[in-house]
Amino acid sequence: MESSDGEAVDKRRVHLRPVTLRDPAPVLLHLLPCEVLVNRPAPVGLFFTPAIRQGPDGLEVSFRGRSLRGEEVVVPPGLVGYVMIEEKGEVLLGKQDFSEGMADDEQEERELVEPPEALERDFDRFIGATASFSSFTLWGLETIPGPDAKVRGALTWPSLAAAIHAQVPED
């Protein structure tokens, strides 16, 4: 945690590229019950996906010799799943992208309307969606994660958050 003494002032904003949210390709997602300590390409379609079978208790597969059981979990209604990747040091490129599809006069108009301090600054960073999903496969070791699984609890959070943050009625 960096909140204690001497924390750097964090002015940075990470802009989400709106164009990338438009028609992102669907993605196949699996949540595994084990930690793989790397982030890198993996031949999932060669070893994992073709080995998935429909068994009597849901989906079956094995990973590193261990037996996994899983099922499809649907994203709660009203939500969209996105996979996002942060970009590195492409600020200028980013600015061009944002004005893409904007007519010249529109752009001029916008610049006039824009407040003196712009939302987007040189030191800001960018993040973009690479893919979207409406469900993922949840895997457990030997058995399907039950109703008490933490991830299932987490998926109910948005409906509770809506109640906590809804405006209260006036007196």
Partner 1 sequence: MAAGVDCGEGASARQHVFLVPDTACFYRLTDCGNSALEYLKEASKKMKSGLMFVKLVNPRSGEGVSYLFNMCLPQLFEIKVFKEKNHSWFINESVQSGGLLHFATPMDPLFLLLHYLIKADREGKFQPLDQVVMDDMFPNCILLLKLPELEKLLQHVTEEKEIDKKKYYKYSKEKTLKWLEKKVNQTMAALKTNNVNVGARVQSTAFFSGDPLSSDKEEDYIRYAHGLISEYIPKELSDDLSKYLKLPEPPASVPNPPSKVAAQRQKRDK
**Contact call for residue 11 and partner 1 (CB under 8 A):** yes
Of 9, 65, 89, 122, the residue at the interface with partner 1 (CB under 8 A) is 9
Check binding of 29 to partner 1 (CB under 8 A). yes
Distance CA 68, CA 141 (A): 5
Task: Output the CA–CA distances (angstroms, integers) from residue 162 to 152, 157, 158, in the order listed.
Answer: 17, 9, 6
Spell out, one character per residue from 112 to 141, where the chain touches partner 1: x when CB under 8 A holds, - when not. -------xx---x--x-xxx----------
Query: Is 52 a residue that touches partner 1 (CB under 8 A)?
Result: no
User: Should residue 51 be labelled a site residue for partner 1 when binding is judged by CB under 8 A?
Assistant: no
Q: CB-wise, 56 or 117, nearer to partner 1?
A: 117
Of 6, 32, 52, 96, the one binding partner 1 by CB under 8 A: 32
Of the candidates 18, 51, 55, 57, which one interacts with partner 1 according to CB under 8 A? Answer: 18
41 exposure class (CB count in 10 Å sphere: 0-12, 13-18, 19+):
exposed
How far is it, in rounded angstroms, from Cα 112 to Cα 157? 41
Q: Which residues, at least 6 apart from 121, have a Cβ–Cβ distance to it below 8 Å? A: 11, 13
